[in-house]
Amino acid sequence: MNPSQDIIYLDYAATTPVDPQVVHTMLQLQGAAGDFGNPSAMHSAGWRSRAHVDNAAQQLAELLGTDAERLIWTSGATESNNLAIIGTARHRQHHGRHLITMLTEHKAVTDVFRALQQQGFEVTWLRPERNGVLDIATLEAAIRADTQLVSIMHVNNETGVCQDIAALGACCHARGVRLHVDAAQSVGKLPLNLAELPIDLMSMTAHKLYGPKGIGALYIAKRPDLHLEPLLFGGGQQQRLRPGTLPVPLIAGFGHAAAIAAARMADDLAHLTRLRDRLWAGISDLPGVQLNSDPALSYPGLLNASVADIEGESLLLALEPLCVATGSACNAQNQEPSYVLRAQGLSDAAAQGAIRFSLGRPTTTAEVDCAINLYRQAVRTLRALAPDGAA
């Protein structure tokens, strides 16, 4: 399942290849020979399509420890984030117009909050500790009587830092505040039991867990006073929260990817932990290299490291054919240092010299060893070319 024989792909936080079993499932639903009917139609072709949607919802629900009725299909985590945050903020305006999020959130969250600020909502932007973790006391101090929503990412897409969602959620619920979680980087990768976690809304996407692009979901907890204002209008599909004809092949692919993830999660985590530790051991002795997150507090599929005196874009180019990133894929065209790392307290220079390695299910030991050699050689080469002759 290697994306290409010509590259070494270590950018799984950006996207993953679709699992061959998932591809097979989706192909069975394409064309006249498949169950191509509109799942909203009241005839046998529609009912067959609806059965695939219902099965996928059950597969995803089992992965998350919730009921299938709690899930709304979307086009991806970006849409899920928008629906959750804007839909809640508008519906709960009577409760208050104060919102809380973190400076290290994905653009699909930070830009939503900035849009709400322009609409008259007040946003408090929380800064994490140097290790990337949000201190509970910081959140407690920020919550006010008119706070109605908090949005916190589970696993950071640049550093892999995991937030203590259980503690953060308990803090929010004790004050009558709703918690939204962007779990795009953790669903299917880390255990999540929504029957036990104090999460009100959770966004996810298929293409981060070896499913297809273009399909995501939003979990909405069953609470008497938890309602959203829709962003789209049309048919009455999905409780009128997200109208439109459901893309059955994509949904079926998401469900199958979720089922595979549930079966493989323990093995995947052990595999990724071994490879991450090997990668860090192979580059950590280079002068000026620093790790930008605590492995004990992070998802093992991500490793973010900075190297002193070297600019990240130059290092990225020198690492070809190694496919890695200097930050979030959605922000790749921006030459500014990572806002996530700067919010953690790193200098502009350290943030500018950061590389994100993200490992995946198909990653091999040989690929990690090659990445180590490429990184070490690139650092040596760029330092030799530096004006001061740094070595």
What positions carry a catalytic annotation?
330
Nearest to 5 by CA among 360, 367, 376: 367
CA distances for 71 relative to 76, 218, 227, 264, angstroms = 13, 6, 13, 22
- Rounded to 10 deg, the angle between the 248-283 and 44-64 helix axes is 30
Element containing residue 4 per DSSP (H, E):
none
Long-range contacts (CB closer than 8 Å, 24 or more residues apart) made by 20-23: 21/256, 21/260, 22/210, 22/211, 22/212, 22/253, 22/256, 22/257, 22/260, 23/253
SS3 label, residue 121: coil
Nearest to 19 by CA among 190, 256, 249, 185: 256
Nearest to 163 by CA among 143, 188, 137, 135: 135
Angle 36-42-46 (CA atoms, 0-180°, nearest 5)? Answer: 15
